[in-house]
Amino acid sequence: MARRKPATVHGLLAIDKPAGITSHDVVDRVRRLLHERKVGHSGTLDPDATGVLLLGVGNATRLLRYLDVVPGGTVESPNTSKAYTAEVVLGIETTTLDASGDVTVEHDMNEVIAASTTESLQALVDDKLTGPIMQVPPMVSALKVDGKRLHELAREGIEVEREARPVTIHRFEVLGLDANVVSIRVECSSGTYVRTLAQDLGRLLGGGAHVRRLRRVSVGRFDESDCVALGDLTAENISDFLRPVSDCVRALSSVAPDDEIRAAVKVGRVLPETKFVASGSAPWAVVEGGEVLAVFEPFANHKVGEGMARPSIVLATSNG
């Protein structure tokens, strides 16, 4: 079997995904425009959803897990953040929990809607749907069970048991209420499903709901202003929008390497955590001359009796 050619294009693309296509469709288009196979994204957006989709190209694909990081977390419990706007349609449940699905149940929620205000809904979500919560992934998600994605099983009419998972809703803002439609903005940890939050809100109000017009407005430190519309990209201009690989770790603590760190990067050797802590909290990106050499993360070494850091990702051995 012939080996795949190494990537020759490296960088980060911030795309404003349009509705009607999958995240993988966006990846395929970028592959064709750049003539580069090594392209991946940092988190799926539903076909009907729009907004911020971050794509890694070449070496940047190895750093995708750091794109949604914001300061303040730990390696064991990273502080990740994505933000969305959406509309929650009260009274109607669908097979997919969004507007693309078939209607399954209609609830008469006229009385509760008439009695609700933006303020009362805000108080409800602050009390019940904000902070650390447990969330059951929907059957239409891309999670795998026994090697098969849930949405594939759902299309076959199969529903399986899903375990609730911990997620964090950093902020759930009720922007307005118009008839049976609640406009919302949610800032949450990675792995949160906004469509499930919509369903939960409907049930807390004694009925049901689904989500529509879902838009991702930020991922970590990247927001809509960083993005280029997918339709504006051509083979001639796409390189103009390619950000440096170092942008993938701009939320991490940056460490300028000394000779000891350079030597450790070359052979993948661990170092005392004290070599890095002065630069900020973990993980630590070793950057020299604008080039990301490696990312170090801490681990406990009981034999040594002190905190250690090891290179979890190595992209280059040195600049010289």
Predicted local distance difference test score (pLDDT) of residue 64: 94
Catalytic (active-site) positions: 46
CATH 2.30.130 residue ranges for the chain: 252-314
Segment 91-122, tens digit of pLDDT: 999 998 999 999 999 999 999 999 999 999 99
Tokens standing for residue 39:
């392209």
Tokens standing for residue 214:
């879902």
Predicted local distance difference test score (pLDDT) of residue 318: 45
Predicted local distance difference test score (pLDDT) of residue 80: 78
Q: What are phi and psi of 262, to 5 degrees?
A: -60, -45
On the question of pLDDT at 300 being above 80, the answer is no
On the question of pLDDT at 33 being above 60, the answer is yes
On the question of pLDDT at 295 being above 80, the answer is yes
On the question of pLDDT at 2 being above 70, the answer is no
Most confidently predicted of 53-57, 163-167, 218-222: 53-57
Q: What are phi and psi of 162, to 5 degrees?
A: -120, 135
User: What CATH superfamily is the domain 82-219?
Assistant: Pseudouridine synthase (3.30.2350.10)
Tokens standing for residue 300:
């406990």
**141 vs 88, 192, 272, CA distance in Å?**
18, 11, 41
pLDDT bucket at 76, cuts 50 / 70 / 90 = very low
CATH 3.30.2350.10 residue ranges for the chain: 11-71+222-248, 82-219
Predicted local distance difference test score (pLDDT) of residue 141: 60
**Burial of 9: CB neighbours in 10 Å, binned 0-12, 13-18, 19+:** middle
Least confident of 54-58, 120-124, 292-296, 306-310: 306-310
Under CATH, what is the fold of the domain 11-71+222-248? Pseudouridine synthase (3.30.2350)
Segment 273-289, tens digit of pLDDT: 999 989 988 899 999 99
CATH of 252-314 among 2.40.160, 2.30.130, 2.60.40, 1.10.287: 2.30.130
pLDDT bucket at 319, cuts 50 / 70 / 90 = very low
